[in-house]
């Protein structure tokens, strides 16, 4: 049977039955899943253990591939094929790629997931912005042949458009920017629909009218009446300018020009980061390790990059079908900054569902206290290499162990390790003398 094994070392205490110290070995055919958490403060050998795990696993059948997300640019692995992502790099990830699965994919989920990722950054969208962006995305998908209520259209190979002018393709962030710019031009200049600009102008006049009325200044009564007359004229122009009968619903959908302007600016800023280009990175296809150097990105850009890359990889793993062994591992250093307690966050989805699809997570951090309970509970292997004392109490509560046990851990020499195996309900943490 194909298996991937990692020998961490031996137990500190001898087995009472054999009177010998046991080897502490990770065996992917016996663990409940392939996920690994490695926690260790600076200088405890965290990077060294990551390299050992990756080196051991990549050299054994079935030779899984590793995708290392390097947030600091210092996680170099011998033999890795590396690509650096920045504003000037020619490649990136496509955050708008629709999963064709009729049960778990589709336009609505992709749009909602895209918005949720934006809201995990420091600049969250307002309620009106969320609504406008959602409708903008669904309109863009429909324009490209991906329909909300037609699952068969979610496959790029199936084109249900009546008069397709171009081959069907997955829309990109660049397409979204162009589409948003076109919508904004309609609402600002009336291009293609004079009614929208008239309605916008009418609303400005009415707001101005209300502000002046609130003052109650009799000397401005003539100006108020003038504004009323202008508003009435604009309303008549709006009614006469209606062309399709969809102008008002469209205006309400996008919540006005100001909201659309802010959404367009947010999309433009994302697009200008340069990391959401449709071209795939130029990795060596034969290399067992792919390193994504995202050290040049801001923290918000790193959050989005990891969300969209992990989502794309999970979709690909599901399309390949079920697997009896891990085919791919996603490795994320300083991962506490990129996890979320939201059940639908892609890393939580992978933690819960990925075993049968042959994908695993290896998450490294200086502490486990910042990880959501779902990730800790659903990760079979945890390696604690030594924590700063400030994290002892919070981590002990998370793991339900005595905080005094952290005092025995010596950097680069010993560790606390838990490996959950199928059928084993003890879930013990072993005192391990590292290799």
Q: What is the mean pLDDT of the chain?
A: 86
142 versus 219: the higher-pLDDT residue is 142
Given this model, what pLDDT does residue 166 score?
Answer: 86
Residue 192 — very low, low, confident or very high, per pLDDT cuts 50/70/90? very low
| Percent of the chain predicted with pLDDT > 90 | 59
Q: What residues have CB less than 8 Å from 72, skipping those under 6 apart?
A: 295, 333, 334
Q: In this model, does residue 171 exceed pLDDT 90?
A: yes
Average pLDDT over residues 169-175: 95
Residue 245 — very low, low, confident or very high, per pLDDT cuts 50/70/90? low
Residue 8 and residue 434 in contact, taking contact as beta carbons nearer than 8 Å: yes
Residue 312 and residue 349 in contact, taking contact as beta carbons nearer than 8 Å: no
Given this model, what pLDDT does residue 131 score?
Answer: 92
Q: What residues have CB less than 8 Å from 368, skipping those under 6 apart?
A: 37, 39, 376, 382, 384, 391, 395, 398, 399
Given this model, what pLDDT does residue 99 score?
Answer: 94
Average pLDDT over residues 161-184: 91
Of 132, 146, 141, 234, give the one whose Cα is nearest residue 183. Answer: 132
Given this model, what pLDDT does residue 434 score?
Answer: 94
3-53 pLDDT, tens digit per residue, is: 668 999 999 888 888 889 999 999 888 888 899 999 999 899 999 999 999
335-373 pLDDT, tens digit per residue, is: 999 999 999 999 999 999 888 899 999 999 998 888 999
Q: In this model, does residue 322 exceed pLDDT 70?
A: yes
Residue 224 — very low, low, confident or very high, per pLDDT cuts 50/70/90? low
DSSP 332: E
Can you read off the two tokens belonging to residue 75? 């996680």
Given this model, what pLDDT does residue 165 score?
Answer: 83
Given this model, what pLDDT does residue 2 score?
Answer: 58
Residue 409, strand partner residues: none
Give φ, ψ of 434 to 5 degrees: -70, 155
Residue 231 — very low, low, confident or very high, per pLDDT cuts 50/70/90? low
150-161 pLDDT, tens digit per residue, is: 999 999 999 999
Q: In this model, does residue 246 exceed pLDDT 80?
A: no
Residue 202 — very low, low, confident or very high, per pLDDT cuts 50/70/90? low
Residue 354 and residue 385 in contact, taking contact as beta carbons nearer than 8 Å: no
Phi-psi region of 173 (alpha: psi -120 to 50; beta: other; left: phi over 0): alpha
Q: In this model, does residue 193 exceed pLDDT 80?
A: no
Average pLDDT over residues 46-72: 92
Alpha carbon separation from 237 to 185, 192, 201, 241, 242 (Å, rounded): 19, 15, 11, 6, 9
Q: Is this structure's pTM higher than 0.85? A: no
Q: In this model, does residue 217 exceed pLDDT 80?
A: no
Q: Give dist(CA 93, CA 114) in Å, integer.
A: 13
Q: Which residues of 148-173 are buried (b: 16+ CB within 10 A; e: fewer)?
A: eeebebbbbeeeeeeeeeeebeebbb
Given this model, what pLDDT does residue 249 score?
Answer: 54
Q: Give dist(CA 329, CA 361) in Å, integer.
A: 6
Q: Give dist(CA 65, CA 329) in Å, integer.
A: 6
Peptide bond into 419 cis (omega under 30): no
H-run or E-run covering 328: strand 328-332
Helices marked H in 173-298 — which ranges?
Answer: 173-189, 194-215, 221-241, 247-253, 257-272
Torsion of CA 106, 110, 111, 117, to 10 degrees: 160
359 versus 2: the higher-pLDDT residue is 359
Average pLDDT over residues 119-139: 93
Residue 329 and residue 67 in contact, taking contact as beta carbons nearer than 8 Å: yes
Q: Give dist(CA 104, CA 345) in Å, integer.
A: 14
Average pLDDT over residues 376-397: 92
Domains of the chain: 5-80+289-434 (3.40.50.300), 107-193+243-272 (1.10.8)
Residue 360 and residue 328 in contact, taking contact as beta carbons nearer than 8 Å: yes
SS3 122: coil
């Amino acid at each position: 049977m194909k298996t991937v094994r990692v020998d961490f070392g031996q137990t500190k205490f001898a087995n009472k039955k054999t009177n010998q110290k046991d080897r502490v070995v990770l065996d992917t055919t016996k663990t409940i899943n392939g996920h690994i958490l490695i926690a260790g403060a600076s200088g405890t050998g965290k990077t060294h253990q990551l390299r050992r795990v990756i080196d051991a696993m990549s050299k054994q059948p079935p030779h899984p591939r590793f995708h290392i997300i390097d947030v600091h640019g210092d996680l170099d692995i011998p033999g890795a094929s590396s690509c650096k992502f920045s504003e000037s790099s020619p490649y990136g990830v496509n955050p708008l790629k629709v999963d064709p699965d009729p049960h778990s994919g589709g336009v609505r989920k992709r749009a909602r997931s895209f918005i949720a990722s934006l809201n995990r950054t420091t600049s969250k969208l307002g309620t009106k912005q969320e609504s406008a962006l959602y409708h903008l995305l669904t309109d863009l998908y429909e324009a490209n042949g991906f329909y909300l209520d037609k699952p068969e259209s979610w496959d790029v190979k199936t084109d249900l458009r009546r008069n397709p002018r171009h081959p069907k393709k997955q829309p990109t962030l660049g397409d979204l920017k162009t589409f948003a710019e076109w919508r904004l031009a309609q609402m600002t200049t009336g291009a293609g629909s004079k009614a929208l600009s008239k309605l916008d102008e009418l609303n400005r006049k009415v707001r101005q009218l209300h502000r002046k009325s609130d003052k109650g200044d009799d000397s401005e009564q003539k100006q108020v009446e003038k504004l009323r007359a202008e508003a009435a004229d604009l309303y008549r122009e709006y009614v006469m300018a209606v062309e399709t009968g969809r102008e008002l619903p469209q205006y309400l959908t996008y919540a006005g020009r100001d909201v659309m302007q802010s959404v367009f600016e947010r999309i433009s800023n994302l697009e200008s980061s340069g990391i959401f280009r449709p071209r795939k990175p130029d990795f060596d296809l034969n290399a067992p390790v792919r390193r994504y150097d995202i050290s040049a990105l801001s923290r918000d850009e790193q959050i989005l990059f990891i969300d969209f890359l992990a989502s794309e990889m999970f979709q690909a793993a599901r399309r390949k079908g079920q697997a009896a062994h891990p085919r791919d591992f996603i490795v994320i250093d300083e991962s506490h900054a990129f996890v979320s307690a939201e059940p639908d966050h892609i890393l939580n989805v992978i933690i819960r569902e990925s075993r049968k699809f042959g994908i695993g997570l290896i998450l490294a951090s200086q502490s486990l206290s910042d990880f959501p309970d779902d990730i800790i509970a659903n990760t079979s292997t945890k390696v604690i290499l030594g924590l700063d004392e400030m994290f002892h109490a919070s981590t002990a509560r998370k793991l339900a162990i005595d905080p005094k046990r952290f005092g025995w851990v010596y950097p680069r020499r010993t560790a606390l390790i838990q490996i959950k195996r199928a059928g084993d309900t003890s879930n013990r943490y072993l005192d391990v003398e590292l290799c």
